[in-house]
Each structure stands twice: as structure tokens, then as C-alpha cells.
Chains A and B, each alone.
Chain A
Amino acid sequence: MTTSLTTESLTLGYGTRPVVTDLTLTLPTGRITTIVGANACGKSTLLRGMARLLPADSGRVLLDGADIHAMPTKQVARRLGLLPQSPIAPEGITVAELVAQGRHPHRRAFARWTPGEDAIVADALEATGVLDLADRVVDELSGGQRQRVWIALALAQQTEVLLLDEPTTYLDVCHQVEVLDLLTDLNRSRGTTIAMVLHDLNLAARYADHMVAVHHGTIHACGRAEEGLTEETVKVVFGLDARVVEDPTSGRPMILPLGRHHVRHD
């Protein structure tokens, strides 16, 4: 029932340059994993590799224990969903039509569209709060609405695992929180296993059940946010001196960067 996704000594790269080296990671099922790291540390590459978009140079990605590249890609898409960093909404496409594309892996070639699928699409639109927008053209929506539509597409795919590459980029802080709350809702109500790359360390710590800090293509630290996000981790992974304090609103760790200016010395 619950799909598992793991990597086994995975090495990935573009051409001859390895970006991810010998990385072993298990996504806890039914949990939210956030992946953080400096620019170009390999975190997005890792996510793309886990989503079978990149062939493994060595090692394997296992979906329910089987090599993901040995399975028909459409079959994988029934169990594993992906929201890439910058998906393209075709000009003029409506919300309902775009979200309906999520049904692709479940449909045979030339099969007729069934009422059951309308219900699934409607359910996805409702869960993400965009049902009122069903008839609207995607290009005309705000960034926050558009991101919810893309998440609805991934929901319509009905996978037990969902990978998201920086789902909050380009959104203002209000919409960032909205998207992360939405994903948490999905995780809690449907038990979806979620893994996402996030830029904002404090949000990543707050919304994670499990946190992975990637450095130079390997895992530097992983575990609960309190274990994963320490002053030492921030120093090594981001090359930044920072204080880590307890976030008074969530009890999760929160980083306060120590830059060269505006820091009190007492």
C-alpha cells in the first residue's frame, strides 16, 4: 500500500562531472522530507535522479524495492509524482484541462475519458482550493494560484509519493506558507510521502518531519530538524556562521545568520 522510495549508493552527473556521489537515502513513508543545501550542491539533481529523470551513473533508485529505471515509466508515474522547478503552462490552457493531464499515467492510449476521472480531477481542485478557477486560463492566475494548480495536477495523478523541486520559489512569504500548509494537509489527510527541495532554511525546518542537508553531492546531516539543522551544519553546508535558536512559534530550530554587519557583540 505505502510506496517506498530509496536510493542506494547513487551517483549522478551531467556528462563526466559527478554532482551526486554515492548517496544513500530512504524517504520515510508517509512523512515530509525537506532537502536543503547551498546552490549547486546537488539537491535538485538528487531529486531529479529520484524521479528517474536522470540515469544513474552508478548505484540505484528503488521504488518499492525495484530498480526505477527497469520499470515502464508510465507505471512509475502511477506511484511517483513530480512537480519540477519550472513547469510550463501551455498558452491559453484552462485550470481544469491542465489538472486533467495528471490522469495521463492511468489512461490507456485512445481511452475515453470517464466520469470517475472528472471526480478525481474535481477532488484535486477542491483539495487545493482552486475549484472556483476551473474555467480560468492558467497564464492569468497569480503565482500562488498557479502553484496550487500544479499541485492539483500532481494530486490528480494520485501517487503515494510526491517530489517537489522548490515549490515555493518566486512566491511571497504568505503564499510560501500557504503552499507548505497545503502540502502538509495532503500529507496528513492522504498519507502522501512528500520530499521537496526548499531554499528557506527556517521554513524547511518547520515543515519537515525529516530533514536532509546536502553538501557537495553527499548527505552531510539528516534526521529530525533538531538533529539536522545545527550551527555546525549551517557552517559546513552553507559556509555561514549562524546562531540556531528555538523558533518560539513552532519549537523547531531557526537560524539567525551572523553576517559582518548589524550583529551586536556583547
Chain B
Amino acid sequence: MSATVVRAARRRASRRAGVTIAALSCTLLALFAFSLVWGDRIYPISDVVAVLAGQDVPGASFSVGELRLPRAVLAVLAGASFGIAGVTFQTMLRNPLASPDIIGITHGANVMALFCILVLGLSGLAVSVSAVIAGVGTAFGIYLLAARGGVVGTRLILIGIGIAAMLHSATLYLLVSADQWDLQGAMRWLTGSLNLASWDDVAMLSLAALLLVPIVLVLGRDLGLLRLGDDAAAGLGVAVERSRRLLVVAAVALAAFATAATGPISFVSFMAGPIAVRLVGPRGALIVPAALTGAVLVLSADLVGQFLFEHRYPVGVVTGALGAPFLVYLLIRTQRTGGSL
């Protein structure tokens, strides 16, 4: 009898999560299809399918196969990576402001990627790996600075925001002092853009995701339990320090690889988690919904940036315009409720 009450309560919650995940997946699929069909020239679905099947379709083979497809795939991968990285940090530090794009971690990766390309003349894997190392290094630095007084939390976020500002000025300095850097390329490192998306970027990021996402998924339940506080999680059998370290490294690496591929697409890490929570309800598992939300955000923002206005804007400009008011909203709300996510 009483077990049915519990089962009913649990089913209601998991049904909502299931419906949300299905709805997000459908939206993502629709956006993805649309982004392949739509453009300066509109190709019929049959042509797109033919290209996807590997057939040679004059015109479509290049613009769909070499331009739109890698762009859309990269949007999904980067959005999902940013989303996972964001929700991991936000959950772990129990604060929506603690996402890697607010506390300077993606800024660290960004500066390093830019330095490797502009000053050292590197490309490809070397850039990505350096960006990841810089991201982890930045995270470690912020942690060391914040841990000194003993209290982490808010202190860590404030220090992170300061570091982010410093690193951002370093980005600007590198861009200003670079030679012959065309505006489009520059925008990518300022706000993030998919204009230069290539199959190489896709290959790199999918490899990273293939390696890192399973780590986060396996530790997903631990992450949910860490929300109860470190002591309560430890009491329930979570190896708190080990789980946390692995999660931080995986999340930072995901954010850094994505940054190396697309530039720091503003506020996606920051927005994906809180939006996902509002859609799913406060269930333990937020990683998959946040990944889907991030992917939907980036893909739709890129479509808006490309086609809705007279000029084409990089995706980061659109997500930035969305993210800034969202930041204000969350700040007001956090002030009022002291809420976690």
C-alpha cells in the first residue's frame, strides 16, 4: 500500500524527466535537419539525405556535406560539451554562477588556444591539448587562491570572475597585436563562432567527448549525491574527493576542447544547467538534459545569428545577448532564495 505511494511519487518525477529528454531530442533533431536544408540555397530533403548517404549531388555535396553538416555537428558537440561542463560545476559547487565560462576556466583555454595559433603558429591537436592544459591549470589556480581562507563557494566564484576578466584582457591584447587577423577569425576567439567549422574540429571534439562524457555519466549519481553536502554524500558511500577530482578534470577538459574548436561560445555552459533544471524538475540526473539543452541552444542561436538578421552574427553574439539577461535573472533569484541551481 505505502509502497505504491512512493512508486507513484517517483514515477511522476521520472515521467517528467523522460518527456523532457524526448522533447529536447526531437527539437534538436528538427533543428539539425533544418540547419542542413536551410541556407542561401534551400536543398530538398531528398538531396540532403542523398548527401548524408554518401552520394554525389552537384552543389549540395559541397554546401551541405562540407559546410552545413560539419557546422551543425560541431554546434551539437560544442553545445553538449559546454552544457555538461557547466552543469557539473554548478552542481558540484551548488551555485549557478560557478560555471566554467563565468569563473574563468574557458577564458584560460581560450587565451592558450589563441597564443598557440597566433604566436606559436600551431594548429590542430597541439592547440586543443594546450587549451585543455591551460583550462585545467586555470581551474587549479583559482582553486588554490580560493582554498586559502578555508571557505570555498562564493569566494571561489568571485576570484574566478576576477581571473576571467584578466584572461579576457589577455585575449584582447593577443587579438589586437596579431597581424592580418581577419574580423571573422577574431570574432571566434572573442565570443565563439561556428563560421570556421571543419571536419577536423568535429573529429577532435568528438574524440574528446567519447573519452570524457562516459566519465561524467558514470559519476553522475555521485554528482547528484554531492548536492546533499560533502558529509552526507560520504556517509552514503561516495568517495567524495576522488569523484570530485575526476569530475572537475573531465568537465574542464570538455569545456576546453569545445573552446579550442569553436571559441568560448558565451554563456552556454552557464545557461544550459539552470534551463535544464527548470525543464526536468529537480531530479538527480541533470547531465543528459543539460547536454541536450546546450546543443539546442548553440544550434538554434547559430541559425538565428545566420539568418534572422540582415547581417550574419557569430553564434556567441546571440547566446551572449540571451545569456546576459539570464544572468541578471539568476542573480536576483539567487539573492532571494539562496538557491542552488
| B76 is an interface residue with CB less than 8 A from chain A | no
Q: How large is the interface on A (under 10, 10 to 19, 20 to 34, 35 or more residues)?
A: 35 or more
CA A51 – CA B339 in complex, angstroms? 28
Give chain B nearest CB distance to A178 CB in angstroms: 21
Which chain A positions have C-beta within 8 A of B239? Answer: 73
- Measured between alpha carbons, how far is A120 from B2 in the docked complex, in Å? 10
> Known: A105-B237, A157-B236. Is A125-B2 also a contact (CB below 8 A)?
yes
Q: Is there an interface contact between A88 and B234, defined as CB atoms closer than 8 Å?
A: no
A74 adjacent to chain B (CB < 8 Å): yes
Interface contacts (Cβ under 8 Å), in number, total: 116
Q: In whole angstroms, what is the CA distance A172 to B317 when docked?
A: 53
A94 touches B9 (CB 8 A): yes
A125→B6 contact, CB < 8 A: yes
* A 85-120 to B, binary, CB cutoff 8 A, 1 in contact else 0: 111111111111110111011000100010100110
Tell me which of B225-233, B255-263, B264-272 binds A.
Answer: B225-233
Please, how many residues of chain B have a CB less than 8 angstroms from a CB on the other chain? 35
Q: Are B235 and A81 in contact (CB under 8 A)?
A: yes
Inter-subunit contact B7/A74 (CB<8 Å): no
Stretch at the interface among B105-113, B175-183, B276-284: B276-284
Interface residues of B in 272-303 (CB under 8 A from A): 277, 281-284
A84 touches B221 (CB 8 A): no
CA distance A76 to B238 in the complex (A): 10
Q: What is the CA–CA distance of A82 and B233 in the complex, to the nearest angstrom?
A: 10
User: Hey, which chain B residues are within 8 Å of A83, CB to CB?
Assistant: 232, 235
The residue among A76, A100, A122 with the most chain B CB atoms within 10 A of its own CB is A122
A200 interface residue, CB < 8 Å from B? no
User: In residues 213-228 of chain B, which contact A (Cβ within 8 Å)?
Assistant: 218, 221, 224-225, 227-228
Q: Which residue from A76, A88, A104, A118 sits with its C-beta under 8 Å from B3?
A: A118
Q: Which residues of A contact B136 (CB under 8 A)?
A: none
Closest to B235 in A: A82
Interface contact B236-A76, CB-CB below 8 Å: no
Query: Is A131 part of the binding interface, using a Cβ–Cβ cutoff of 8 Å?
Result: yes
| B218 / chain A contacts, CB cutoff of 8 Å | 109
Closest residue to A119 on the B side, CB-wise? B3
Which B residue's beta carbon lies closest to that of A80? B235
Contacts of B235 in A (CB 8 A): 51, 53, 77, 80-84
* A131 touching B13, Cβ below 8 Å: no
Q: Are A113's CB and B237's CB within 8 A?
A: no
**CB neighbors of A among B1-24 (8 A):** 2-7, 9-10, 12-13
Choice from A82, A92, A96 contacting B231 with Cβ under 8 Å: A82
Q: What's the Cα separation between A87 and B340 when bound, in Å?
A: 13
How far apart sit A217 and B315, CA to CA, in the bound complex (Å)?
A: 59
Are A86 and B236 closer than 8 Å at their CB atoms? no
Chain B residue at minimum C-beta to C-beta distance from A132: B5
Mark contacts of A166-183 with chain B using CB atoms, 8 A cut-off: 1 yes-contact digit, 0 otherwise: 000000000000000000
Question: Do A97 and B284 touch (CB < 8 A)?
Answer: yes
B188 at the interface (CB under 8 A from A): no
Q: How far is the CA of A164 from the CA of B232 in the complex (A)?
A: 11
Interface residue A48 (Cβ < 8 Å from any Cβ of B): yes
Contact A88 B13 (CB under 8 A): no
A227 in contact (CB, < 8 A): no
Quick one: given A91-B339, A92-B282, A109-B218, are A101 and B9 in contact (CB under 8 Å)?
A: no
Provide 21 A-B residue pairs closer than 8 Å at the C-beta atoms, listed in order of the A residue: A51-B234, A73-B237, A76-B237, A77-B236, A81-B235, A82-B234, A83-B235, A88-B94, A90-B228, A91-B282, A96-B10, A97-B282, A97-B283, A101-B225, A101-B236, A105-B236, A118-B10, A122-B5, A125-B6, A126-B2, A134-B5
Chain A residues within CB distance 8 Å of chain B = 48, 51-53, 73-78, 80-98, 100-102, 104-105, 109, 113, 115, 118-119, 121-123, 125-126, 131, 134-135, 157
Q: Can you name 20 extra interface pairs (CB under 8 A) apart from A82-B231, A84-B231?
A: A48-B231, A53-B231, A73-B239, A77-B235, A82-B232, A87-B228, A87-B231, A88-B227, A88-B228, A90-B228, A90-B340, A91-B282, A91-B340, A92-B282, A101-B236, A104-B225, A122-B2, A122-B5, A131-B5, A134-B9
Give the interface of B toward A (CB within 8 A).
2-7, 9-10, 12-13, 94, 218, 221, 224-225, 227-229, 231-232, 234-239, 277, 281-284, 337, 339-341
**9 tightest CB-CB pairs across the interface, nearest first?**
A77-B237, A82-B235, A92-B282, A84-B231, A74-B237, A96-B9, A122-B2, A105-B237, A87-B232
